[in-house]
Amino acid sequence: MPKKIAPLTNVEVKNAQPKEKPSKLYDGNGLYLLVMPTGAKYWRMKVTIDGKELSPLAFGVYPEVSLADARAKREEARKLIVEGINPQEAKRQSKLNRRVAAENNFEAVARRWHAEKLSEWKESTASATIRRLEMDVFPYIGKLPIKDIKTPAVLAVLRRIQERPAVEIARRLGQVCSQIFRFAILEGHIESDPVYAIRGNLKKSVRGHHAAIGVDELPEFLRKLSSTEYRMYAETRICMRLMMLTFVRTSELIETPWSEINLEKEEWVIPWRRMKMGKRKINPIMEDHHVNLPAQGWALLRELNLLTGRGRFLFPNKRDHERHASNGIILAALKDMGYAGKHTGHGFRSLAMGVIKEKLGYRHDVVDRQLAHQSGDKYGEAYDRARFLAERRVMMQEYANYLDSISSGNILTPKFVRAA
């Protein structure tokens, strides 16, 4: 008959003294306190399965792990032993599961997905995407194992965003999350995309035209732009004027490197990969865009070259000159001028179209070419390009002269109106 062991008391455990060699104080059912010569005390449990004694289980250090805590761990281990499960293997598997869960939580998977996309994206897109995830998604589901995230959890995140209100951001982040979950499917962590069921259950953003002032408001806008009452960097003022004279999209101007500009030959060619139509995944337009600048535009670029010409970009980031500035510099300047919600960087294109058609009488198709719009007729593209190039140069110079005349108060009147 096995010897009956009296359970330990808290006092015995606390007062246990070290000896020359490691000593053991038994509590029963395999649990004992191992007292080292240094005075350190460790909880251990003797384990025997199928008549074979295994390495003892370690339950922690006293007093961090109390007697009651050690007994609770012993009972958990005994339940596993009764079921024929090795507690040591179960402990190792539990650690492995926690590590795998940590490596495959939503944030970890999202960052791996993001890293794979870097070669496909512009730097600004990559930066904006991860920043938005860090702000709006990771704080809520980032640490959850991706296999445990269900549709309601994702829906709650997206609804929190759209209630700010930021309906369009919620829509775009829904698309981003869907791509992340599909990436997780490819990695073998999940079998379905929980975002799929959300489609149609979010508010739809109302899309409209970019805000733009009218042609009749142009004189006052030019007066404000020239005035010293509105504080802005010289580069920002030049940027605004170039937006008016080039018709390029905001990102196409802000992201322009000096390598695309030839001041001596007065040539500016934007590679097709930087153009909106060139970025399309399906049937991209692989046609470089020739920016027709009037004399006033080249004068602005030469002035700008004295300010930023030693760097990479026309408009470098103030903190990191190896990066271009943000599109926000134009919106911030417009806000300071009192045009928040009334005019945008893209609005310069609408404004220019209005001036050229209403005041200068040019045909819509010529203006479209300068705006880098596509006709839809791929066979007529080359012919149109050659046919309109000379006319576009004349048009842009007349437009720049017209803006100058408004600023001087001596507004030019076109000598004739061109046929529509």
Looking at residue 139, which CATH number applies to its domain?
1.10.150.130
Helix axes 167-187, 151-162, angle to 10 degrees: 150
Asked about 189 being catalytic, the answer comes back as: no
User: Can you give the residue range of the structural domain that contains 77?
Assistant: 10-88
In which residue are the tokens 């300047």 written? 333
Asked about 276 being catalytic, the answer comes back as yes
Cα dihedral sign, 218-220-224-226: positive
Q: Are residues 372 and 293 in the same domain?
A: yes
| 373 in active site | yes
Residue 338 in domain: yes
- Angle made by CA atoms 329, 332, 333, in degrees to the nearest 5: 85
Domain boundary among 198, 230, 264: 198
Task: Please check whether residue 207 lies inside any domain of the structure.
Answer: no
CA pair distance 241, 141, nearest whole angstrom: 45
- Name, in order, each residue with C-beta under 8 angstroms of 139's C-beta and a sequence gap of 6 or more: none
| Pair 174, 318 in one domain | no
CB of 184 closer than 8 Å to CB of 365: no
Check if 147 is active-site: no
Query: Which of 91, 117, 276, 418 is flagged as catalytic?
Result: 276
> Which pLDDT does position 364 carry in this prediction?
61
CB atoms under 10 Å from CB of 418, counted, come to 14
Reduced to 3 states (helix: H, G, I; strand: E, B; else coil), residue 321 is coil
Give the chain's domain count. Answer: 3
33: which strand partners?
25, 43
Q: How many DSSP H helices and E strands does the chain contain?
A: 16, 7
pTM for the full model?
0.51
Regions of the chain where pLDDT drops below 50: 1, 208, 372-387, 415-420
Catalytic entry in 46, 160, 189, 373: 373
Q: With respect to residue 208, please indicate whether it lies within any of the assigned structural domains.
A: no
Do 194 and 225 fall into the same domain?
no
